[in-house]
A and B are shown apart, each in its own frame.
Chain A
Amino acid sequence: MSLIRKGLVAVLLVVVLLAVLGVLFGADALFARALRSGGEAALGAPVDFEDAGLSLFAGSADVRGFRGGTETHPLLGFANARFDVGVGAALAGRTEIETARIDGLRIHLVVDEEGRLSWDPGPPPPQAEKEPDAPAPAPDAEPLPPPAERDLMQIAREYWERYETYQGYYDEYGGFLGGGDDDEDPEEAVRERVRWPGKPDAVAAAQREAAAEAEARGRLWIGEAAIEDFAWITRDARSGEPLLPALASCSLRMLRIGTPPDGGTEPAELSGDATLETGGALSFAWQGSRDGTPNGLRLSATSLPIRELLPLAGKSFPFDVSEGLLAVATEDLRFASDHLSGSVRLELSGAQLAARADSPDVLGVDAGEFCQLLNVALGNQPVAFVLRLGGTPAAPEFEIENQTDIGDMLGGAIQAEAERRAREFVDEQKAELEQKVDEQKAELEQKAEEKKEELKQEATKRIGNLIGGGLKKD
């Protein structure tokens, strides 16, 4: 091999070596840049962090002091995060996170004065096209109240319906978690860079199909992840109150999330435990099936303060509720797209209900009367319902099995009310009788007094006559 040929090969090797060294030593900077641009694209908001590092040899990445959003409108942040990533998979275009740990995750959820969530990208422009196959709203669906009067569930419902209607627009220009396609049209970029671009339509169609298949299979895998010291920071600007009960502690765990690299069928798992600052506790475990069997959900919540849940769903409930505690527990809850089974137990204690103008009658009882009776019953004992679920998640069916029998409970309440009213009646009658007795007594006493006076006068008169007769004889 001639010298010039050896030289060319050497130059090629040096270039490759420099490129490898550049990637190795510039990995942190490259990662930081990718994290910033990717984070901003994903959140649709500025992203900042104190430090970000990537080790290609170890296949790990660290991020410290991450903040998404602005100072005045923060969206989320965390103190530390560490990811162990499969390098081979990354080179193949897949993201495989073998283990991950995030400490101090904070999610900010704010509803402004107009009832708009801080994560809302806003409504689409008038010219945005609706999805042709967007599901029509259910005919019996309750219309939503004006935006400024909605609770969090109603806000979420409106967002979801809007997203389904304009999915194409949000996918292109950024959805509820930001994102969206890049502004640059890839075809346009190719035309500028390549002098003679173009390929058969059949190739373009096949590539689109392959990309769609890859997208459907998923490119993300999380083997094991833990989130420690999680908290949400919520505020309803309309009331100045939090939207959700404040968490005293919360940890979340994830197992086998995403597309398994080995085609495994072990279920995905997401679980968490939390305690509330007010003393309640929350625990859940979701199991996502990969073998065709229904998914599972275990949820247990105790001593949830109803007052703090009102911003979440208070306006979705047909009665005004105040005070009291709520406990929720699921039993063998299973669901799939065409299956829903299991039961949910709800227990209310110490709650007070009040009817609204639009509150429905219950069991043929007027709403106001029902609330009055229920409040009496709730004052005596907790009320528990078990909802036996059926149907499908999209069209759920349920039967209420009363652990506290509604008939008994209302019957007892009615009996108590009758006794109360009878007691009131008796008391009222008693007072009247006592008054009458007093009046008659006073009348009799007066008559007696008058008689006494009369007799006294009669006696005086007779004594006078007797004394007068004796003097005449003398």
Chain B
Amino acid sequence: MLTLLRTLAKAITGKVDALEFALGIFFGVLLGLLPVGEVDPGTGLLGLNTLWLAVLFVFLVLKASIPMAVLTAALVKLLAILFLDAAAFHFGQAALPDGLAVSLAGAVPGLQLHTFWGFGTAVLGLLLAVAFFVAVYPLMKKRLPLWRERFGKTRLAKALGNFFVFKLIGRLIG
């Protein structure tokens, strides 16, 4: 919760821009929904889903908000356990064509896209991530300057900014 508050505070006080914020959500959705481990035994990288590792790498390379991504991933993982995994699996069962699956299994088996769950989470995750990004980015871009202006003048912002935990995190994050 503190992370969320800190991120929000940073976003509002100008230390995180709208794109960084939206990208954090985008990658958080993907990382939270994609299975971490391999779904088809023996096809992953050291037992891990190569697609998840690839997304993690891209996420670390791009300038995306790490706290926002972690928070979003945790939230999406919770939803996945509740119903999104089942939905993705059934979507994969219904939507994955045999020919494509065989091609993917032969060319890039590590990505797990030839499995029902791997394919379903990848497609569903991408759709959700894009949807969230499209929804959040314009909103944040439009509203953020106004919120910054209003929020920066409030006592809460000053309090948050002066709270030693946030100061410490602020130094660490830079």
Interface residues of A (CB under 8 A from B): 2-5, 8-9, 186, 189-190, 193-203, 206-207, 210
For residue A191, give the distance in angstroms from its CB to the closest CB of chain B: 11
Select A200's contact among B38, B101, B106, B173, beta carbons within 8 Å: B101
For residue B119, give the distance in angstroms from its CB to the closest CB of chain A: 9
Closest 6 CB pairs of A and B: A196-B117, A202-B98, A196-B89, A199-B115, A203-B105, A200-B101
B:60-84 near A, CB below 8 Å: 60, 66
A/B interface sample: 17 pairs, CB < 8 A: A2-B66, A2-B173, A3-B173, A4-B172, A5-B60, A8-B66, A193-B41, A194-B35, A194-B117, A198-B89, A198-B93, A198-B115, A198-B117, A201-B98, A202-B98, A202-B99, A203-B114
Contact B101 A2 (CB under 8 A): no
Residue of A with least CB distance to B97: A200
Select A9's contact among B60, B93, B173, beta carbons within 8 Å: B60
Residue of A with least CB distance to B57: A12
Known: A197-B40, A200-B98, A202-B98. 16 other contacts (CB 8 A): A2-B66, A2-B174, A4-B172, A4-B173, A5-B66, A186-B41, A193-B41, A195-B85, A196-B88, A199-B105, A200-B102, A202-B101, A202-B102, A203-B101, A206-B105, A206-B106
For residue B167, give the distance in angstroms from its CB to the closest CB of chain A: 14
Contact A193 B37 (CB under 8 A): yes
Q: Summarize A's interface: helix, strand, loop or mixed.
A: helix
Contact B172 A196 (CB under 8 A): no
- A199 in contact with B101 given A3-B174, A5-B66 (CB within 8 Å): yes
B:148-174 near A, CB below 8 Å: 172-174
Q: Does B54 contact A (CB under 8 A)?
A: no
Given the complex of chains A and B, what is the CA–CA distance between A270 and B116 in angstroms?
49
Tally of contact residues, B, Cβ under 8 A? 27
Q: Does B30 contact A (CB under 8 A)?
A: no
Q: Which residues of A contact B106 (CB under 8 A)?
A: 206, 210
Contact B66 A4 (CB under 8 A): yes
Among A3, A195, A196, chain B packs the most CB atoms within 10 A around the CB of A196
Q: Does B96 contact A (CB under 8 A)?
A: yes
Q: Which residues of A contact B34 (CB under 8 A)?
A: none
For residue A12, give the distance in angstroms from its CB to the closest CB of chain B: 8
Contact B115 A197 (CB under 8 A): yes
Contact B117 A8 (CB under 8 A): no
Q: Does B18 contact A (CB under 8 A)?
A: no
For residue A466, give the distance in angstroms from its CB to the closest CB of chain B: 144
Among B39, B93, B99, B106, chain A packs the most CB atoms within 10 A around the CB of B39
Residue of B with least CB distance to A12: B60
Residue of B with least CB distance to A206: B102
For residue A17, give the distance in angstroms from its CB to the closest CB of chain B: 15
Given the complex of chains A and B, what is the CA–CA distance between A196 and B90 in angstroms?
10
Given the complex of chains A and B, what is the CA–CA distance between A55 and B137 in angstroms?
54
Q: Which residues of B contact A186 (CB under 8 A)?
A: 41
Q: Does B131 contact A (CB under 8 A)?
A: no
Residue of A with least CB distance to B80: A195
Given the complex of chains A and B, what is the CA–CA distance between A5 and B60 in angstroms?
7
Q: Does B86 contact A (CB under 8 A)?
A: yes
Q: Which residues of A contact B66 (CB under 8 A)?
A: 2, 4-5, 8
Given the complex of chains A and B, what is the CA–CA distance between A194 and B40 in angstroms?
9
For residue A184, give the distance in angstroms from its CB to the closest CB of chain B: 11
For residue B79, give the distance in angstroms from its CB to the closest CB of chain A: 14
Given the complex of chains A and B, what is the CA–CA distance between A348 and B151 in angstroms?
110
Residue of B with least CB distance to A198: B116
For residue A21, give the distance in angstroms from its CB to the closest CB of chain B: 16
B:22-58 near A, CB below 8 Å: 35, 37-41
Contact A8 B173 (CB under 8 A): no
Residue of A with least CB distance to B119: A199
For residue A214, give the distance in angstroms from its CB to the closest CB of chain B: 13
Contact B117 A197 (CB under 8 A): yes
Among A189, A193, A195, A199, chain B packs the most CB atoms within 10 A around the CB of A199
Contact B172 A3 (CB under 8 A): yes
Residue of B with least CB distance to A202: B98
Contact A197 B39 (CB under 8 A): yes
For residue A474, give the distance in angstroms from its CB to the closest CB of chain B: 156
Given the complex of chains A and B, what is the CA–CA distance between A46 and B63 in angstroms?
56
Q: Which residues of A contact B85 (CB under 8 A)?
A: 195-196
For residue A35, give the distance in angstroms from its CB to the closest CB of chain B: 22
Contact A207 B39 (CB under 8 A): no
Given the complex of chains A and B, what is the CA–CA distance between A5 and B116 in angstroms?
33
For residue B93, give the distance in angstroms from its CB to the closest CB of chain A: 7
Given the complex of chains A and B, what is the CA–CA distance between A8 and B96 in angstroms?
35
Residue of B with least CB distance to A199: B115
Residue of A with least CB distance to B89: A196
Residue of A with least CB distance to B100: A200
Contact B41 A190 (CB under 8 A): yes
Q: Which residues of A contact B172 (CB under 8 A)?
A: 3-4
Given the complex of chains A and B, what is the CA–CA distance between A8 and B56 in angstroms?
11
Q: Which residues of B contact A206 (CB under 8 A)?
A: 102, 105-106
Residue of A with least CB distance to B41: A190
Among A186, A193, A195, A200, chain B packs the most CB atoms within 10 A around the CB of A200
Contact A199 B114 (CB under 8 A): yes
Given the complex of chains A and B, what is the CA–CA distance between A278 and B101 in angstroms?
66
For residue A101, give the distance in angstroms from its CB to the closest CB of chain B: 33
Select A196's contact among B86, B96, B99, beta carbons within 8 Å: B86
- A194 in contact with B96 given A8-B60, A203-B101 (CB within 8 Å): no
Q: Which residues of B contact A203 (CB under 8 A)?
A: 98, 101-102, 105, 114-115
Q: Which residues of A contact B96 (CB under 8 A)?
A: 200
Q: Which residues of B contact A194 (CB under 8 A)?
A: 35, 37-39, 117
Given the complex of chains A and B, what is the CA–CA distance between A197 and B115 in angstroms?
8
Given the complex of chains A and B, what is the CA–CA distance between A186 and B99 in angstroms?
25
